[in-house]
Amino acid sequence: MDTSASRAQLIADDTPARLAAKDSTLWGPAAEAEAAVRLGWVDTHERSRELVARLRELRSTLREKGLTRVVLAGMGGSSLAPEVITRTLDVPLTVLDTTDPGQILAALSNDLENTVVVVSSKSGGTVETDSHRRAFWQAFEDHGLPDIGGRFVIVTDPGSPLEATGREMGAEVILADPDVGGRYSALTAFGLVPSALAGVDIAELLDQAAEFAESITDEKDNPALALGAALASAKTVTIAPDGSGIVGLGDWAEQLIAESTGKDGLGILPVVVDGPSSPGFNGEGVVPVTVGGSAVGHLSTSGHLELAAVAVNGPLGAQFLAWELATAYAGKLIGIDPFNQPNVTESKNNTNAILEGGLPAEEPSFTEDAVEVYGGEGDTLVSALRSLVGAIGDEGYLAVMAYLDRVGDAPAEGLRDLLAAATPAPVTFGWGPRFLHSTGQFHKGGRLTGVFLQITGATPEDLDVPGKPYGFGELQAAQAAGDRQALNKRSRPLLRLHLTDRAAGIAQIVAAVKELAK
């Protein structure tokens, strides 16, 4: 890729200095109102300093009470950054960003007496997070534990419904920087509170961001500008860790890129892979990016540096800021508003309607052992998968969406590499409903070239959502059905595989996909 024209354009528009000065006009008149209240992330690392002492104190108070196990309930921007931070620094944190009853039951059955739950939601209205809060409150009550409110820490925006609920609960309430959107909030209370309570030295992350911030107005030596130009040149960006020690940044960057750019029929598809040797890391029309490692490039005949792969090096605090800036630069080059997510609510509305009216009656086209096959073409699992892969168009991609237990059904994730080996097209993998808060925006608002493999599973034991007329299993099924409706409305090819026995069903799909590659 030769990104020199894009870089020149950004510099000619004085973009680095204007972004550093939070100029809300950068993305055009339609984006201006939103941008005016969404640029706090540019220097939020400075304001977040005030959290350092408060969180240190709160952690020791909680520990004095014996609350040493930290659970984080939060979706998308309210959990992806703390997950990267704590995994990178090897600090234990249980992240709940699921409606899978098995996964939630496992989190509830472990060491409740010593558990503090951080409930994080910017809007304060996210159904998954609210359901987790209810389930933990109920479980604490059922265990006869004292001071239940004191076992919760709430992170939310000032004035959200969750702020009021948190105060009623008697929980510690920490208000976040309201001028920062969820996916840009890594260095606000959303990223920092759960991380600090779990034991991370957050001052170090803030120092890393502050040091990096010194480069952001530079026109020559500006890594974020280089990354932004590279992202904007791509239809697909693959992201792989490469020896930096940073764990899982791709999942965080995936949300940032997909929700920020995947709209108005445009966008960059992020594909997260395990490493530079994963299938599909390189490919036609793909910009491969490693977190760590070294860039691969050569000089073109006109003397420009043409990059075959981009490497982003630097400590985690700097990475967050660099990717955020790069995404905002890419948004300007592509011509979209990087701060809204216009297509996220549709699936949520479908889910609510289904919870009220009941799940649609659907009959499988056929059943093969532990796998019920819905929709698609073919009369065997192998042929149904083959025709789905065959339906991927020239600039298309395949998205696997697994509404399963990220922990208990972890082998399902292996399907990404297997499918990527069976097609030259990009293949993404997302756990549902987690991906609805991330790549979901791209799938429904972006280039509309995806074909979709939805995997759902039987729930042997459901768990009630306290105070609601449904259980987590019903909610999960309604989320999957609601998203199917949204994709069907766009006439996207979709195959649903329902596992009546999860482990056996995953093994069957793995075996069938291996057949495809032959």
Ligand X SMILES: O=P(O)(O)OC[C@H]1O[C@H](O)[C@H](O)[C@@H](O)[C@@H]1O
Give the residues lining the site for ligand X (CB under 6 A): 75-78, 121-123, 126, 129, 182-183, 259, 341, 344, 437
The least CB distance from residue 160 to ligand X, in Å, is 8
The least CB distance from residue 301 to ligand X, in Å, is 43
The least CB distance from residue 182 to ligand X, in Å, is 3
Please state, in angstroms and rounded to a whole number, the distance separating the CA atoms of residues 234 and 229.
9
Please state, in angstroms and rounded to a whole number, the distance separating the CA atoms of residues 469 and 508.
34
Where is 432: in which H helix or E strand? none
509 Cβ contact partners less than 8 Å away, ≥ 6 residues apart: 371, 381, 385, 412, 415, 455, 497
- Closest to ligand X by CB, 75 vs 330, is 75
- Closest to ligand X by CB, 208 vs 439, is 439
Angle 236-237-239 from CA coordinates, rounded to 5°: 145
The least CB distance from residue 129 to ligand X, in Å, is 5
- Closest to ligand X by CB, 185 vs 456, is 185
Q: Which residues on adjacent β-strands are paired with residue 95?
A: 72
Please state, in angstroms and rounded to a whole number, the distance separating the CA atoms of residues 16 and 3.
16
- Closest to ligand X by CB, 121 vs 195, is 121
- Closest to ligand X by CB, 38 vs 386, is 38
- Closest to ligand X by CB, 74 vs 457, is 74
Beta-strand relationship, 366-368 and 371-375 = antiparallel
Please state, in angstroms and rounded to a whole number, the distance separating the CA atoms of residues 99 and 126.
12
Any idea what DSSP says for residue 115? E
In the chain, the N- to C-terminal Cα span, in Å, equals: 32
The least CB distance from residue 31 to ligand X, in Å, is 16
Q: Encoding tokens for residue 391?
A: 């339906």
- Closest to ligand X by CB, 126 vs 208, is 126
Please state, in angstroms and rounded to a whole number, the distance separating the CA atoms of residues 136 and 389.
41
The least CB distance from residue 437 to ligand X, in Å, is 3
Residue 441 one-letter amino acid: Q
- Closest to ligand X by CB, 173 vs 512, is 173
- Closest to ligand X by CB, 75 vs 422, is 75
Map residue 392 onto helix, strand or coil.
coil
Instruction: Report CA dihedral (120, 121, 125, 127) to the nearest 10 degrees.
Output: -60
Of the candidates 483, 431, 482, the residue with the CA atom closest to the CA atom of residue 457: 431
The least CB distance from residue 123 to ligand X, in Å, is 3
The least CB distance from residue 457 to ligand X, in Å, is 22
Where is 262: in which H helix or E strand? none
The least CB distance from residue 184 to ligand X, in Å, is 9
The least CB distance from residue 183 to ligand X, in Å, is 5
- Closest to ligand X by CB, 210 vs 344, is 344
Go through 372-398 and write b for each residue having 16 or more CB atoms within 10 A of its CB, e for each that does not: bbbbbebeebbbbbbebbebbeeebbb
User: Is residue 84 within 8 Å of 248, Cβ to Cβ?
Assistant: yes
Any idea what DSSP says for residue 92? -
The least CB distance from residue 474 to ligand X, in Å, is 20
Residue showing the smallest CB distance to ligand X in the complex: 76
- Closest to ligand X by CB, 121 vs 215, is 121
The least CB distance from residue 13 to ligand X, in Å, is 27
Would you mind telling me the total number of residues written for the chain in this entry? 518
CA of 317: how far to CAs of 188, 260, 314, 323, 326, in Å?
Answer: 11, 20, 8, 10, 15
- Closest to ligand X by CB, 37 vs 458, is 37
Please state, in angstroms and rounded to a whole number, the distance separating the CA atoms of residues 518 and 514.
7
User: Is residue 256 within 8 Å of 324, Cβ to Cβ?
Assistant: yes
